[in-house]
Amino acid sequence: MASDGFDFSPGAQIPLQGSGGQAVATNALASAAYRDSPVEKILDANSEWHKSDVKVGRSKLFKSDYFKPNLGEAFSRAVQERMLGGARKALIQSFGMDPQTVVEHCLSATRLRKRRDTQLTAVTALFGFLFLPGMLLWFLAFRLRDLLGKTKDKALSTLGSALLPIIGIVALILLVKLPLNGFLALYVRLMIIAPVVGWLIAKRIAESSAKDMRARWEGLLSGGGVIAKIPEAVPKNPNETSREALRQGLEKLSAEQQSNSVFYAGPKGILGMGTRWGSWQLAEELVAKEPGKEFHQFRSWDLIRAIHDQLKMLERGPLNTGGFPTPSVTHWIVSPVGENADSVSRPDGEDVATFQVKPHEIQRICNHQQFGSGDRHYLGVQFTLWEGQLIITMMITVTVLHETLRIEVTGYALGPVHSLFTSKPAAKTRTVNKTVRFWETRDITLPLVESSEVVRLALRAPFTWYPPLLDYLGGKIALPEPFGLRHAWAEKPWRHRFMADDAMRAATPVLRAVHSAALRVLKENGVDVERFDNRSMVLSGLVQDPSPRKADLYDA
């Protein structure tokens, strides 16, 4: 492929935050890397067409969930592996956001966790592995408490809550009246005490890490400018091949994001742009204006080029009322894929460079590939609104079959990132009855890091050097395919009144700009535009229909 073995940048770059106007969507997805929520929460963000999965593994020895990752751990691991893996499949562009920034935050979060896990591993080795029998006894006590706490029997549940204090009292009695002497007595006493001391130290480490992670989570969603630090992506000498590979992986990701090829997946619409909600077609016969004469020959590209220039002027209007932001006008090469395709393949060959189809090939496809198999050319005008939360795309294609010219304008809308990713960290609380006035309730604040969480982190820490083993023991997130960060967790915009209004308001001026440019070219080439003009007026009225439709679902 054109993308293989190619360095896309002049050198190591300083990581930047999401580009202007795209911060909300970028930061929302990046915040998932720092979250400490249960991993199953990701299933709440499943959309109608893109469903992620959580594959939970269990330790074969303990049959417990102590090796299960939380949301941030699983998300970071899944995104890094999918977007930077050496054998990864093609990615879907993430319009309205910067996927490289999200990946950088995943790398940064992983780096912070590795530093925490290195400290926890030292604590586990010193206070756990050296006193392994005691560590196993305390672990079994925690495991028994969890099993009793999950039962529906209130008596057993109460016993589970009191189990650790009871075991603690028994341990104190053994420390005082242990019927042993010499080194064995000293070791048994340390075996009882050392895991508890290690647990207290591990809790301090875990709490410090949790506060740091939550501060970054909060900072991203509050627009605080949290920077992802990834020094491992900046090689210091030519021998650091892993750093160089990571740097090139990030640059390749950025280059693929700028690709001008997209994929049409039937009723799912263009992957990354959302579903097609509206379609307006102007199709009339090409007839010379002057009887007995022929009109001047022209090609589809001549119309497209004029429409392109007209769409560039959309931000300008006769009144100073704000209106359209600067649009992105792009020539797209659209490839058809199956509705349930699990992968896509980008064009390659001598007509493609760094994921970009070259201009001469774009022009050839526009003029000649209008019927039958093969890729098609579309001219797209795209608006990124609501700080990346709403992507409005209007696609224009021109075809000429025999003596009929068809100009089709279609509308696509990609909604905001799921609300799961925009929720800020909240204090952990629990509602309980008051002691005296038992008919009233009060909220109590729970510890930021619970006892079971400390045990989970301490058990996982020694295995973090080999992530596939943790995937086997604890499970992982299975990402939806074909994968793109933006469309995988996007909601529909039609439930948000202002977003829906923006999507439908954009259609009318775009349609009129397209028709105006096309009619001008037809007139210049001696074509009778009366029928085209009449049809354009009819479509101008139809486009004001206030309801979006599923334009790709045909009732046939």
pLDDT tens for each residue of 19-78: 445 688 999 999 999 999 999 999 888 876 677 778 777 655 555 677 889 999 999 999
pLDDT tens for each residue of 443-502: 777 788 888 888 889 888 988 888 888 888 888 898 988 999 998 898 888 888 888 888
Asked if pLDDT for residue 124 goes beyond 70, the answer is yes
Instruction: For residue 398, list its beta bridge partners.
Output: 407
Q: What is the rounded average pLDDT of the residues 81-104?
A: 90
Token readout for 361 is 């090939």
Share of the chain above pLDDT 70, in %: 83
Mean per-residue pLDDT over the chain, rounded? 82
Token readout for 445 is 């604040």
Q: What does the alpha-carbon distance between residue 524 and residue 534 come to, in Å, rounded to a whole number?
A: 18
CA quadruple 455, 470, 419, 253: dihedral positive or negative? positive
pLDDT tens for each residue of 303-329: 999 999 999 988 887 766 777 888 899
CB 487 within 8 A of CB 31: no
Quote the pLDDT of residue 147: 62
Q: Roughly how many angstroms between the first and final C-alpha of the chain, as a whole number?
A: 39
What confidence tier does 186 reach under pLDDT thresholds 50, 70, 90? low
CB 484 within 8 A of CB 271: yes
Question: Measured between alpha carbons, how far is residue 477 from residues 50, 57, 456, 469 in Å?
Answer: 14, 11, 18, 14
Q: What's the Rg (C-alpha) of the chain?
A: 30
Q: What is the rounded average pLDDT of the residues 347-352?
A: 87
Longest CA–CA span in the chain (Å) reads 120
Instruction: For residue 476, list its beta bridge partners.
Output: 55
DSSP string, 482-550: S--HHHHTBPPGGGSHHHHHHHHHHHHHHHHHHHHHHHHHHHHTTB--HHHHHHHHHHHHHTT-S----
Quote the pLDDT of residue 497: 86
Q: What does the alpha-carbon distance between residue 230 and residue 333 come to, in Å, rounded to a whole number?
A: 35
What confidence tier does 105 reach under pLDDT thresholds 50, 70, 90? very high
φ, ψ dihedrals at 352, nearest 5°? -130, 135
pLDDT tens for each residue of 441-450: 777 777 888 8
Helix H segments across 11-92?
Answer: 23-31, 71-84
Sort 65 into a burial class: Cβ within 10 Å, 0-12 / 13-18 / 19+. Answer: middle
Q: What does the alpha-carbon distance between residue 214 and residue 31 come to, in Å, rounded to a whole number?
A: 9
Q: What does the alpha-carbon distance between residue 93 and residue 79 come to, in Å, rounded to a whole number?
A: 14
Name the residue type at position 352: V
Quote the pLDDT of residue 269: 87
Residue identified by tokens 């001391």 is: 197
Element (H, E) at 202: helix 182-221
